[in-house]
Amino acid sequence: MPEKTPDTRIKTLGPCKLESPLPYRTWEDDAVSKIFVDKDFDQSIKPQIIDFEPAGPRKRLYFDPTRAKCAIVTCGGLCPGINDVIRAIVMEAHHAYHVPGVIGIPYGLEGFIPKYHHDLIELTPQRVSNIHLFGGTMLGSSRGPQAPEEIVDTLERCNVNALFIIGGDGTMKAALKISEEVQKRRLKISVIGIPKTIDNDINFIPQSFGFETAVYKATEAIACAHTEASGAANGIGLVKLMGRESGFIAALATLALKEVNFVLIPEAPFELEGENGLLPALEERLMARGHAVIVTAEGAGQHLMQNDARTDASGNRILGDIGDLLRAKIKNYLSERNIRHTIKYIDPSYIIRSVPANAGDKVYCGFLGQYAVHAAMAGRTDMVIAKLQDRYVHLPLQLVTRSRRRLNIYSDLWRAVLESTGQGCLAGMLPPE
């Protein structure tokens, strides 16, 4: 049964008693953002207007910024724009609030744990001045959980007042545990999350930073696959894109280029053979046009493979290789019917996630970093910065970690994909009535 209204209240460390040093005349202290949300935000809620606390500078602060100390950590897989967020946080803290110290935690949550012997990094405006020109993260990253007790021990030893955690769904869950440990010890440490995921699958956040860049780079791979396919008799271009549980990159890249004939996503369980199967539809496409392009998310078709229960360091299940499965099945199916063909398989996953952010994502990352510092100085905690319908707001960590966001196959987005590819006749593509 849909939840009536999600709890969007934001925790604070205490009353704000200090005047902000910022010279602005507009403040967000008592403002409220009213935003209409529906099942495309979170499929467990009913459509409604919800109040959110807006992001932005506050006239009164909790921390004395001239005595504050901040820390930044990046976790999980790479994503375009991480360096831009780091740079924005450092520049805002230093130039706007005159924070005397910002430290970088190397190699993800490992950097907090003494046994790994990672040295902390002093982040100054000079040190981060050019990092936005490069992909990846200057701090390094890692996967896997670490004990929140040891993490908070390090925060205490380093006299950190505000921790900025950049990462995906698993990282935001870790941030929640860190915040709980902070509260258990009655410490005054602000924990602010900046959601990052190449898959765009963080709950309640319509688009995460780096996603726009990822879609653009994915279209380049699809264009190459189309060129390869159309240059051979019965040529098939097969492109595997990132998307463990959500098919957003595959869907948006397909709509952007419109050279794709079949797109496969985790949310729409397709069939290979039989009536309305992918392989008969591919054969029909080749007979009619002489070439085809297939785009698949990495998490698509897992129901067709025998997978064990193994998980990676982040607790994600280890996926079967949908690309290898499709190549083998297509080859066998067409060969059995004496249909000459060629398959060109392209997997650009690590290229897509490792490139620098494009202009749109750079602007987005800049806002996220600035708003994260505003929130921390005002004593907000247990929250993330999010962009909802062109407005930046504060969201509770509990809200964004309660489930993974998935592509809604009842949505206009999926309908547009089916119209673009013409694959609506395939089994599993249409939602049940």
Over residues 332-352, the mean pLDDT reads 95
Over residues 318-336, the mean pLDDT reads 95
Catalytic residue among 169, 199, 201, 382: 199
Give tens-digit pLDDT for 82-112.
Answer: 999 999 999 999 999 999 999 999 999 999 9
Predicted confidence band of residue 193 (pLDDT cuts 50, 70, 90): very high
Identify the pLDDT of residue 194.
Answer: 98
In the predicted structure, residue 2 carries a pLDDT above the cut 60: no
Identify the pLDDT of residue 430.
Answer: 86
Identify the pLDDT of residue 138.
Answer: 98
Over residues 363-391, the mean pLDDT reads 97
Determine the Cα–Cα distance for residues 304 and 296; give it in Å rounded to an integer: 14
Identify the pLDDT of residue 343.
Answer: 98
Active site residue 153: no
Identify the pLDDT of residue 40.
Answer: 75
Over residues 157-170, the mean pLDDT reads 97
Inter-axis angle of helices 359-377 and 82-91, nearest 10: 40
**Domains of the chain by range and CATH?**
11-208+357-400 (3.40.50.450), 213-354+410-421 (3.40.50.460)
Please give the mean pLDDT across all residues of the chain. 94
Identify the pLDDT of residue 43.
Answer: 72
In the predicted structure, residue 381 carries a pLDDT above the cut 80: yes
Identify the pLDDT of residue 3.
Answer: 62
Give tens-digit pLDDT for 267-324.
Answer: 999 999 999 999 999 999 999 999 999 999 999 999 998 776 677 666 677 789 999 9
Percent of the chain with pLDDT over 70: 97
In the predicted structure, residue 1 carries a pLDDT above the cut 70: no
Q: What global pTM score does this model have?
A: 0.95
Over residues 345-362, the mean pLDDT reads 95
Identify the pLDDT of residue 314.
Answer: 63
Identify the pLDDT of residue 318.
Answer: 79
Give tens-digit pLDDT for 18-36.
Answer: 999 999 878 998 899 999 9
Residue from 354, 355, 385 nearest 369 by CA? 385
In the predicted structure, residue 81 carries a pLDDT above the cut 80: yes
Identify the pLDDT of residue 299.
Answer: 95
